[in-house]
Amino acid sequence: MTENVLEFGPCRRARFLARPNRFVVHCRLPDGEEARAFLPNPGRLWELLLPEAVVHLRDGGRRSSQNAGRKYRYTAVAVEREGAPVLLHTHWTNQVARILLEQKRIPGLEDVSILRAEVAHGRSRFDFLLRRRRTDLFLEVKSCTLFGNRVAMFPDAVTDRGRRHLLELAELSRRRVRPVVLFLVHTSDVDWFLPDYHTDLAFSQTLLQVRKKLDVIAVSLRWRSDLTLAPEVRRLHIPWSMLKREARDRGSYLLLLRLDREHRLRVGRLGQLSFPAGFYLYVGSAMQNLSARLARHQRKRKKFHWHIDHLREAAAACIPLAIRSSTRDECSLAAALSEICAAGPRGFGASDCACPTHLFFSEQNPLQLRPFHDLLQRFRMKPPEP
Ligand SMILES: [Zn+2]
């Protein structure tokens, strides 16, 4: 049993610059040269791909045959967060799972053997067919890179495919096979796992609904700085009762708006106000039908009801960020934002509370700022109460 079964090949460390599209990143190599690299990961990865983050690039070489037909010499394999690499290369996920299964290192799956990989079943495909004594198990593996406050969450972007996969797995439980979904979390900095009900409520509610028909296993891995896998693999606790309480369509939200130029707007009773170009964060809440509220905010040309409607109409972009919760956190969110952003006009969105404002301004895109992600994770990733 060697630990270095995973051979990524020669890697170079570079600094992250930009991600012009989902599958490409721009990086700066140590010699100052800029490189474009293939990114085999469809996730958002917002909190990982921050400016100047260290990215491990596999160098396919100028003439490498592996590189034939590929547009890019480099492939982004991992990104560092607080000095520890997080695996980005999703094509390697099944290879990692295979090694851990073969080495009997996955708690809850130590007693299985692999029969086949990439198994077609009806119209679905699953990652592995396993056997435990006389029972067959279908295993689906998911790669999880979103974590904070000792909580890991999946997915980091809406995945309808992932949701359908859960339903198909649950359907299998009617036959004599046991379906298993395995989440590989690429950090050892976690104790709990939850589906990300802030980002993908449908996936989370589906997991809740089918959980008795399948085994849900989440484990934490640790990657060393040389991209070898450390021996410890820990099973994470899934706080189902907390999930049942919190994974509902209610809570608070942030709207991230971008103004490309300065606007002067009349905002209800606040009168004529000036809004410089830049990024705005608005805090609101909807203790029911939160998704419908966010959809309304995203639409333009509607009857104005709230202060924010005026600014939304002028904005070039609008990104909603749900923070689902059984508690109304909007005023504590506003207080937290006031520590890292400039306050917007007095009274904006805050007619019904004692806050100075519910609108905040940032010259830089908050999604590229670590303090903003820390804040978001503080509200979204709450460890269960003891
Ligand atoms: Zn308030």
Q: Which long-range contacts (CB under 8 A, 24 or more apart) does 104-108 make?
A: 105/231, 105/233, 106/182, 106/217, 106/219, 106/233, 107/217, 107/219, 107/233, 107/234, 107/235, 108/215, 108/217, 108/235
Tell how far the Cα of 151 is from the centroid of ligand 1, in angstroms: 27
Bridge partners (DSSP) of residue 26 are: 18, 36
Tell how far the Cα of 297 is from the centroid of ligand 1, in angstroms: 19
Tell how far the Cα of 194 is from the centroid of ligand 1, in angstroms: 28
- pLDDT score at 70: 62
Helix-then-strand count for the chain, H and E: 8, 22
Q: Is 18 helix (H, G, I), strand (E, B) or coil?
A: strand
**Residue 289: CA atoms inside 13 Å, Cβ hemisphere, count?**
5
Tell how far the Cα of 324 is from the centroid of ligand 1, in angstroms: 17
- pLDDT score at 386: 72
In the predicted model, what is the mean pLDDT of the chain? 93
Tell how far the Cα of 331 is from the centroid of ligand 1, in angstroms: 4
Tell how far the Cα of 343 is from the centroid of ligand 1, in angstroms: 13
Whole-Å CA distances, 304 to 264, 309, 313, 319, 351: 16, 6, 9, 19, 16
Q: Categorize the per-residue pLDDT at 63 as very low, low, confident or very high, splitting at 50, 70 and 90.
A: low
CB 222 within 8 A of CB 84: yes
Residue 173 pLDDT exceeds 90: no
Q: Give me 36's structure tokens.
A: 């474009």
Tell how far the Cα of 205 is from the centroid of ligand 1, in angstroms: 29
Tell how far the Cα of 40 is from the centroid of ligand 1, in angstroms: 41
Tell how far the Cα of 335 is from the centroid of ligand 1, in angstroms: 8
Cα separation, 37 vs 25, whole angstroms: 5
* % the chain with pLDDT above 90: 84
Q: Give me 94's structure tokens.
A: 């099944």
- The residue behind tokens 């890019």 is 72
Tell how far the Cα of 66 is from the centroid of ligand 1, in angstroms: 56
How many other C-beta atoms can be found within 10 angstroms of the C-beta atom of residue 375? 20
> Where do you find CATH 3.40.1350.60 in the chain?
91-246
Lowest-confidence pick of 91-100, 190-199, 201-210: 91-100
Element spanning 9, H or E: none
Which three-class secondary structure string do you get for 249-270?
CCEEEEEEEEECCCEEEEEHHH
CB 233 within 8 A of CB 100: yes
* pLDDT digit string, tens, across residues 7-50: 777 889 999 999 999 999 999 999 999 999 999 999 999 999 99
Cα separation, 224 vs 230, whole angstroms: 6
Cis peptide before 155 (omega within 30 of 0): yes
Q: Is 267 helix (H, G, I), strand (E, B) or coil?
A: strand
Phi, psi of 296 (to 5 degrees): -60, -45
Tell how far the Cα of 283 is from the centroid of ligand 1, in angstroms: 8
Cα separation, 198 vs 324, whole angstroms: 5
Q: What is the mean pLDDT of residues 52-65?
A: 81
* % the chain with pLDDT above 70: 96
> Where do you find CATH 2.40.50.580 in the chain?
10-83
90 Cβ partners below 8 Å, 6+ apart?
A: 40, 41, 42, 143
The count of residues in the chain is 386
Q: Give me 35's structure tokens.
A: 């490189």
- pLDDT score at 67: 46
Q: Is 189 helix (H, G, I), strand (E, B) or coil?
A: coil
Fold of 91-246: Trna Endonuclease; Chain: A, domain 1 (3.40.1350)
Q: Categorize the per-residue pLDDT at 65 as very low, low, confident or very high, splitting at 50, 70 and 90.
A: very low
Tell which CATH architecture fits domain 10-83. Answer: Beta Barrel (2.40)
* pLDDT digit string, tens, across residues 367-381: 999 999 999 999 999
Q: Give me 56's structure tokens.
A: 């491990």
Q: What is the mean pLDDT of residues 90-114?
A: 94
